[in-house]
Structure 1
Amino acid sequence: MRIREEIEEREEAILSPLAAKSSRAERDRYEPKDPLRTAFQRDRDRIIHSKCFRRLKHKTQVYIAPGDHYRTRMTHTLEVGQIGRTVARALRLNEDLVEAIAMGHDVGHTPFGHVGEFALRDMVGHFNHNEQSLRMVEVIEKNGCGLNLTKEVRDGILGHTGTHIPYTLEGQIIRTADRIAYLCHDFDDAQRAGMLDSRALPIEVREYLGTTPSEMITSMVKDMVESSMDQAEIKMSPVITEVMNSFRRFMFTNVYLAPSMIPEREKAAYVVKHLFTYYLEHPEALRHEVGHNRIVSVTDIVDYVAGLTDQYAIKLFKEFHIPHIWDA
């Protein structure tokens, strides 16, 4: 049976010379190749079947404890993957690599989204969710063995935000697709929440991108494909880049840092900081996580708190800090 080999041969024949090829993918630890799946397909599957991926369904995107139709980290991740694959197919790049990076890019996100990220940063001095996502798949999953993902996928996960630029074009696609997804879909959720409507958008956003999430995504993806075709980097035109930046500034002012969001954000940050402090003062409470023969470190506490879902973080906070009510 030569199914994997045939897929790899099709990649070589069909994909752009600039595409990452799965037959050349590298892992830190050797393992026999799968008979059916390429290395990137295998990475995607490992991430999807991981515990850290499953927890994304109960992690906040923007709103604390949202209703049924609001985004979570899980739905955001799927939306990034869809946008990324559309771009990759148009550019004849490796869709499986794009999807694997997309599925793993946010697995290191804290409870309560960026609020939790900033809260942990306040406590330890340095914490970035992209680095924690890489740590999650490299070190923490599979009881400390990691998933042994390919270097291309790990590089894309690390570089989806921050200063590190992925060396594959597929990783660069996710870096931009992530921003497109969260801006457009957070705008959609903000409309649903009654925080704003399309008439409040900057005029250049309405003119160049449109006024609905679908129009906005289509405009930016189309520009991204046209600007990156047969190029050695993934980019957008200068005009659309500036319009996207204007859209982003608008979203920060009117949604992410909006006064109406501050009380709930402060409460969420309070929960994360006090859970961290509790485990710092009561390390024995994490013995079940790290093993009874090892001293609980600050890194262990960060890993544990960062991995919590919103609901479980709130449950633990209640257990540790709120008196139990006696039954009558």
Structure 2
Amino acid sequence: MTSTLAPFACDPTRSRGRLHPEPPAGARSDFQRDRDRIIHCNAFRRLKYKTQVFVYHEGEHYRTRLTHSLEVSQVARAICRMIGLNEDLAEALALAHDLGHTPFGHAGEFALQDCLAEYDGFDHNAQSLRIVTKLERRYAEFDGLNLTWETLEGLVKHNGPLVGRPDSKPLPKAIVEYSEGQDLELHTYASAEAQVAALSDDIAYNAHDIEDGLRAGLFRIDDLLALPLVGPIFREVMARYPGIDEHRLIYESFRRIITVMVDDLVAETSRRIAEARPERPEDVRLLGRPLVAFSDEIVAHDRALKAFLFPNMYRHFRVNRMTSKAKRVVKDLFALFVAEPNLMPPDWQLPCDGPRGRKTARQVADYIAGMTDRFALDEHTRLFDPSVKP
């Protein structure tokens, strides 16, 4: 396989290794092993009942974090195959990128950020790192999954360098603490595979959030026809298949939208490769700008699409109501557990340092962040409804 890789792709035989050295895994490469560990971990299974926009009980056909991660993985593998990058590393990153998300999507994350403002804060990327390096407890010799350096680097840096840029934000404590023991080179870009995984995420959620919004009745196809990229493709499908039913129209249109975005990314990235001529993965990291990118035209279309989705979907009054309820559930649970940590299961009480202590707050955040939508709602009912048995 490695003979087909581009010279700047990440080669598993040249990996920087794991924090805790392990013997080879036979026929599996190190990146395949990372992918398998991610798929088998508890946090990955919980993504089944963690939502993107809609809470799980609102319908079985809306995207969850699990289905979204699988879709991102499929897109990332396809792009890597076209460019000559390592598909296994990109797949591992795509499958792991949402592990740190809270219940109730971004509503839960915003609520935990508010709750932890006086402590060490909350960041879903940092939480993903905590999960794969500390919170998963499956192996006899170490905590976490003991993933390769390349996978950990891509997990925290897939959106670019974390330090040294004018727009750099204060680093989450979890990332700072981990990097002190294993330097993830936070001042550089991540590998090309990580950059592919990040933009595959954009491709997947742009297309599928619109599909879910149409399914939920938050807006209509007619509302999309004036949008760049989306509108022309819908019109093309309607002209080619007169009288097509709405379900088929939506699917036919969105598979074309995904194809256009993938083809554009491959073309723009190929142009940048020809210009930069990277010869090693390190050349990608030190390039000073992303190697993997969309064209300016698709970037503009993406902005227009997000500008439409923000008021018409993410801030739709029905979504606002769900968001409000979700925030209350998370904040109620946090306030109660921080004040009374002995209400958590025994294993979660052990590292606590008393009511409202700093260690207690972090332990409570880990406990809540790991919850599914369903478990969080049930836990809230058990603890706040006097008529329900605890």
- TM-score (normalised: structure 1): 0.91
Give, in whole Å, the separation in 1 of the partners of 2:8 and 2:312: 39
> Is the contact between residue 110 and residue 307 of structure 1 (CA under 8 Å) also seen in structure 2?
yes
Distance 1:175 1:210, change over 3 A: farther
Give, in whole Å, the separation in 2 of the partners of 1:95 and 1:246: 30
> Is the contact between residue 131 and residue 158 of structure 1 (CA under 8 Å) also seen in structure 2?
yes
**Of 241, 248, 253, which residue of structure 1 is paired with 2:299?**
241
Give, in whole Å, the separation in 2 of the partners of 1:236 and 1:50: 33
Amino acid at match of 2:41: S
Distance 1:36 1:297, change over 3 A: same
What are the residue-to-residue correspondences of 1:52-91 with 2, within 5 Å? 52-64=43-55, 65-91=57-83
Give, in whole Å, the separation in 2 of the partners of 1:293 and 1:41: 33
What are the residue-to-residue correspondences of 1:1-328 with 2, within 5 Å? 10-11=1-2, 13-25=3-15, 26-64=17-55, 65-125=57-117, 126-142=121-137, 145-161=143-159, 164=162, 166-201=189-224, 202-206=226-230, 212-229=253-270, 231=273, 232=284, 233-286=291-344, 288-290=346-348, 292=350, 295=353, 297-324=360-387
Amino acid at match of 1:15: L
> Is the contact between residue 210 and residue 216 of structure 1 (CA under 8 Å) also seen in structure 2?
no
Give, in whole Å, the separation in 1 of the partners of 2:195 and 2:351: 42
Further displaced range: 196-205 or 111-120: 196-205
Give, in whole Å, the separation in 2 of the partners of 1:195 and 1:297: 40
> Is the contact between residue 158 and residue 190 of structure 2 (CA under 8 Å) also seen in structure 1?
no
**Superposition deviation, residue 216 in structure 1:** 1.4
State the SS of the aligned residue for 2:379: helix
Amino acid at match of 1:223: D
State the SS of the aligned residue for 1:69: coil
Give, in whole Å, the separation in 2 of the partners of 1:155 and 1:32: 21
Amino acid at match of 1:145: D
Give, in whole Å, the separation in 1 of the partners of 2:267 and 2:333: 47
State the SS of the aligned residue for 1:20: coil
Amino acid at match of 2:150: E
State the SS of the aligned residue for 1:204: coil
**Superposition deviation, residue 325 in structure 1:** 5.6
State the SS of the aligned residue for 1:191: helix
Give, in whole Å, the separation in 2 of the partners of 1:162 and 1:188: 29
Give, in whole Å, the separation in 1 of the partners of 2:337 and 2:352: 15
Give, in whole Å, the separation in 1 of the partners of 2:350 and 2:124: 28
Question: Alpha-carbon deviations, 1:151-194, whole Å to 9, x = none?
Answer: 11112222345764742000000111111111110110111111
Give, in whole Å, the separation in 1 of the partners of 2:376 and 2:160: 26
Uncovered stretches (5+) of structure 1, i.e. residues with no partner: 1-9
> Is the contact between residue 22 and residue 40 of structure 1 (CA under 8 Å) also seen in structure 2?
yes
Amino acid at match of 1:245: R
Amino acid at match of 1:177: S
> Is the contact between residue 342 and residue 349 of structure 2 (CA under 8 Å) also seen in structure 1?
no
Q: Say what the alpha-carbon RMSD is for the aligned residues.
A: 1.9
Aligned to 2:182: none
**Superposition deviation, residue 209 in structure 1:** 6.0
Give, in whole Å, the separation in 2 of the partners of 1:31 and 1:269: 42
> Is the contact between residue 68 and residue 204 of structure 2 (CA under 8 Å) also seen in structure 1?
yes
Give, in whole Å, the separation in 2 of the partners of 1:85 and 1:208: 27
**Superposition deviation, residue 264 in structure 1:** 1.2
Give, in whole Å, the separation in 2 of the partners of 1:34 and 1:274: 45
Distance 1:14 1:287, change over 3 A: same
Distance 1:266 1:161, change over 3 A: farther
> Is the contact between residue 130 and residue 159 of structure 1 (CA under 8 Å) also seen in structure 2?
no
**Superposition deviation, residue 206 in structure 1:** 3.0
Further displaced range: 188-197 or 41-50: 188-197
State the SS of the aligned residue for 2:69: helix
> Is the contact between residue 158 and residue 195 of structure 2 (CA under 8 Å) also seen in structure 1?
yes
> Is the contact between residue 110 and residue 306 of structure 1 (CA under 8 Å) also seen in structure 2?
yes
Give, in whole Å, the separation in 2 of the partners of 1:209 and 1:235: 22
